[in-house]
Amino acid sequence: MLGFWSKPLATLLVLTLFTLPLWAAFGPLTALAAFCASLVWWLARHLRNLYRLRQWLRNPSFETVPQGSGMWESTFAALCRLMRNQSRSESKLSLALQRFRQAGAAVPEGMVILDEEDRIEWCNPEAELHFGIDLSRDGRQHVTYLVRNPQFAEYLASPNFSEPLVIRLPRNLEVTLSIQLVPYGDQQKLLFSRDISRFVRVETMRRDFVSNVSHELRTPLTVLSGFLETILDMPKLDSEIARRTLRLMQDQAQRMQRLVEDLLTLSRLESAPTVPRDEPVDVPSLLHALHRDALALSAGRHRVLLQIESEDWITGSEDDLRSAFGNLISNAIRYTPGDGEVSMRWERQGENAAFVIEDSGIGIDAEHVPRLTERFYRVDRGRSRASGGTGLGLAIVKHVMSRHQGRLEIASEPGRGSRFTALFPAQRIAAPDAGVQKSA
C-alpha cells in the first residue's frame, strides 16, 4: 500500500519544496498561487489518465492498453499483465472447449448437455441425428419440446436414472434408441443416446429363428409319429397303405434331412473365414451341371433354359457357389407353376459378372422383398412348406455373395414372376484358362 502512494506523496513534497523559495522571495500569495497552479496541472494529468482508462474499459484489449507515467505507469502495466494472463486463460479455455467438442463429436453415441431446467446447452452430431435437432436452431430449448415421447418425459421427471430407457421416436419408427440420463454438477444432466436398432433386429431374428426351427421340425416329426402310431395300431397291415404311408414318412424324413443340411451349411458359412479360398471356378461348366439337376427337379413340368453369354470364371469357393446357384434355381422351380418357364443366364453387366435367374412364377409383393434373405422368412407359410423348401436357401445365398464381395438383387411383381441377380465385382472375375495356368 505504501509503495502505491509513494509517488503521489513524493510529487506533493516536490511541489511544496518548489513553493518555499517563492514564499521567501515573493510572499505567501505568490507561493500559494504557484502551488495551486501546480496542483491543478497535476490533477489534470490524473484526470486525463482517468479519461483514457474509462475509454479503454469500454472496449478493453491487450493491444490498446493506455501508456502513462508515475503511478499510472504501474497501474497500466498491471492492467497489461492482467490482460495478458486473461488472454492466456481464454486461449487455454478455448482450446479445452475445442478439444471437448471434437471429442464429443467423435463419440459414437449421442450426447446432450442439459441445464438445471432441462434445456439444451450443447449436443454432438450423433445426438442431432438421433433426435432430429439442430444445435444452432434448438439451443436453449426445453428437450421435451423436441423429443416428443410420453415415456421420455416420464423418465426425465423421475428421480431414478439407473436403468436406460428404450424408445422409438415418431419421426423414425424404424430406429430404436437406448437413452440414459446421468446427473452431474449443479442439477445438470448428460443425456446419452445409442442406436440399438441392429441389436433389436438381431434379437428379433434370433427369436424368430428358434420359433421357426421348432415349427419346421415339429411338422415332419408329427407326420412321422402319427403314421408310426397308425401302423402300430393296425391289426393287419395292408401293403398298399403301408407303401403310401412309408413314402410319406420318407418324404418328411428327407425334408428334415434337407433342413439339417441347410442349417449346417449356414453355420459353416457364418463360422468360416470372411474371404473364401482363392481358387478359379469354371462357372459355365458349373451351370451346365446345375441345369441338368434343374431338369431332373422339374421332371418335365417346366421349360428350364440356360444361356451362357460369358466365358468368365469366378475366383472363390466352388462349393459355396454351387450351393448359392443351386438354391436360386431350386427356389425358382418350386415357386413356378407347371408349364411355367425358368431361365438362367451367365453374363457381363458392365464390369460385373452376373448370374441371372428369372421365372414366370407367382411373384412377391414389394413389402416382402427386403426380408427374403432372413432365415425362415416366408411370404406364404403354407405354400412354402408344401413346396418342400427349408426357408434357409436365400439366407445361404446372401452369405455366399457377401463372402465373395458380391450382392444379390431381387426384383419381383405378383403374378409376373421374379428375377434374382447375383452380381460379382470385377476383382472376382478370372480368365477362362485361370485354372490351367494356376495348376501349371
- Give pLDDT tens digits for 136-166: 888 889 998 888 888 888 888 888 888 888 8
Tell me whether residue 3 is exposed, middle or buried, using C-beta atoms within 10 angstroms of its C-beta: 0 to 12, 13 to 18, 19 or more: exposed
Q: Which domains does the chain have, with CATH numbers?
A: 2-89 (no CATH), 107-195 (3.30.450.20), 203-271 (1.10.287.130), 279-439 (3.30.565.10)
Looking at every residue in the chain, the average pLDDT score rounds to 79
| pLDDT bracket for residue 425 (50, 70, 90) | very high
Cell numbers standing for residue 308: 451362357
**Its pTM surpasses 0.75:** no
In the sheet where 279-281 sits, what is the strand order? 279-281, 313-316, 429-430
Cα 379 to Cα 334: distance, rounded to the nearest angstrom: 14
- Give pLDDT tens digits for 108-130: 788 898 998 999 988 888 888 88
- Give pLDDT tens digits for 250-264: 777 777 776 777 777
- Give pLDDT tens digits for 281-300: 999 999 999 999 999 988 88
User: pLDDT above 90 covers what percent of the chain?
Assistant: 19
| pLDDT bracket for residue 337 (50, 70, 90) | confident
Tell me whether residue 129 is exposed, middle or buried, using C-beta atoms within 10 angstroms of its C-beta: 0 to 12, 13 to 18, 19 or more: middle
Predicted pLDDT at 86 = 78
Predicted pLDDT at 438 = 46
User: Cβ neighbours of residue 256 under 8 Å, at least 6 residues apart?
Assistant: 217, 220, 221
| pLDDT bracket for residue 1 (50, 70, 90) | very low
| pLDDT bracket for residue 224 (50, 70, 90) | confident
